[in-house]
Chains A and B, each alone.
Chain A
Amino acid sequence: MMWETVIGLEIHVQLATKTKIFSGASTAFGAEPNTQACAVDLGLPGVLPVVNEEAINMAIRFGLGIDAEINKVNVFDRKNYFYPDLPKGYQTTQLDKPIVGAGHVDITLANGSTKSVRIHHAHLEEDAGKSLHEDYHGMTGIDLNRAGTPLIEIVTEPDLSSSEEAVAFAKKLHSIVTTLGICDGEMSQGSMRFDVNISVRPKGQEDLGTRTETKNLNSFKFMEAAIHKEVARQIDVLEDGGRIVQETRLYNGDTGEARSMRSKEEANDYRYFPCPDLLPVVIEESRLEKLRANLPEMPDAKKIRFISDYSLSDIDADILSGNQATAAFFETAAKLSGNAKLTSNWVLGEVTRSLNANDTTIANSPVTAEMLASLIARIKDNTISGNIAKKVFEAMWNGEGKDADEVIEKKGLKQVTDTGAIETMIDDVLAANAQQVENYRAAPPEKRGKMIGFFVGQAMKASKGKANPGMVNQILKKKLDD
């Protein structure tokens, strides 16, 4: 039977505020346990929450960034359950008046077409603390530094139909929230966590199959693997005549294993009610206007501009505009070097390769946009060939010069463009390879094109790569054909 996969996502995005959503405690990552958990975060008796204005602003910015309606009157609700990393016994969240209403996020599929993924809503809530299950004399350790960190939970419609689409969506969302500056995007620190709802159904069937939810995936790679695994599992169960049980599953990225989580007792009985400690948050039109006026250029708009301003291909523009830091790096280098196409090739080529090989990000690249621009300028004006440029790049990467000119000067890599010098060198090559010269001249013209490559290679080798390849080619042709 042909099966169809249906995927919906719930994404927890940690907002990049300095303080908690309801208290003035710091949200900085990596502090000593419980040093950033104040009386409000601990839920001690007698404390009252006060809403962080910046958390409201950031949630609104997200809504404006995805063309969504912003709810003017916001109510916070209590979601009641007991767990040790939730000291109040309830999570303050939003149930039926979420701050961000329906919107959409458009993704580019592998075949180049665009798919619009509907966002059902996004609501504000607080994060819980962390349970450390290492053995503390048979007890569990609790760190409440994360408790009260502001989150938006973004809920999509079940519009995704493969792991590839889900990952493309996740990356796009990452690009949107980092462009907006509302999230640091550090997935390994849990700044974005994905819950994936998956079901399968026979192709053509209207009704949705029973779904499972795989929780807390914090890397694109894990997400892709977890979806593949769960889709295969569900199809196996159904083809063996079984049925899917609605459950929450956990995927372990390190082992690649997935298992059913103990289904929370009375799972759906959270007994929500409006939080009596918080008054409604009313968003005035003036606040919306101010935030709208200060929205940055969103990735989709940037992509279109890159195509029209720099004549980039759709696919190159898509990658370059997808990451705020990469886009800024590219634009700075393109403007300084005056050659966008070459800059794009270098950013997507050597720069990306070196970043990946050294497991670092463009913000920490030892070769800055200015340095890359200096390199491209020297390729453009024929000071160096593309091959030598790679050596110069490597040298700059290793800290052997503040720009391309310094490296070229220090290493004597300047391209030889002196016709006399190249001619002398070629004469030597031809003299040393008399037999090949004879073969060349005896060959029919249509075969010569390939054969000349040998002489070019020899000449470039003799010049240690510094001869201008175009000139070598031209002079060789002249000498061999005449």
Chain B
Amino acid sequence: MISPVLLFDLLLGLSLLWLAWRTLAAHTLFEACVSFIVFGLLMALSWVRLDAPDVALAEAAVGAGLTGVLLLGALERAERARVEAAPGPWWRRGAGLSALLLFLLLAAALITLPPRPPLPLQEALPLAAAEHPVTAVLLDFRAWDTLLESAVLVLAVVAAWSLERSVSPPRPAPVCSEVLRSLVRLLLPFSILSAGYLLWRGGHAPGGAFQAGTVLAAAGILLLLSDLRRPFDLRRGYWPLALLSGLLLFIAVALGTLGYGGTALDYPPGGGAALVLLLELGLTVTIALAFIALFSSGRSRGDE
């Protein structure tokens, strides 16, 4: 007799696989995008089942939300794009065979994996600058990774901007319904409030800069979609500085700790928690603005 929980997991996994197949086999691009968004939502549910609430929060906002918005925004142009000829049947068979081989190899590796000993990390956790293990890893033990990640974000924005035809203000939002406008009016304060809460919470519980940044980005994108506010250009004024703030703060803290203790990003005793909160604040602003910039770069007027 299998337990109801395991049955739920089995069904969830099977629906993921089915949706993956539906996404690839969809007749129209629109169908593929929508299936992929639903796929992202089920992924978020799987993260909860695997005790990864941090990842679940980020996936629900980014994987299902932002990626879906970006894909749907690209749809109109992509449908008109000229595509190369469809691959022949032998190519498809070869691809299927290699995919099957890959799955068998991966499955064999996963099943025969020897059990791992408890992590040495558990002993180091009480010394970390943050109580929550995931935040401790992100902003203390592996802070370098997070520094470089904010650099990747900024780089993606610069690359997207440089591919645009000309510097042009974002296209004004299409006339939207009064329903969306009142919804945005209602949701915006709550989004900002929950972003702040998620940021504050990150020190001791699931949450943090990643989740706060994406919630803030979602609020900004909704604001752009409803024409409540005149579209703003993130390439002008002080916006680029705000976009860079996370990266610049990170570099400043790295240099400061290098001068203070001799090791970059090795926080001084007692000051770790405050520095981590400062870094997370900058990271939140960078993540939110980078996502808004990537979204609005897709709808700029230079594209027409």
Q: Please determine whether chains A and B interact with each other in the same assembly.
A: no
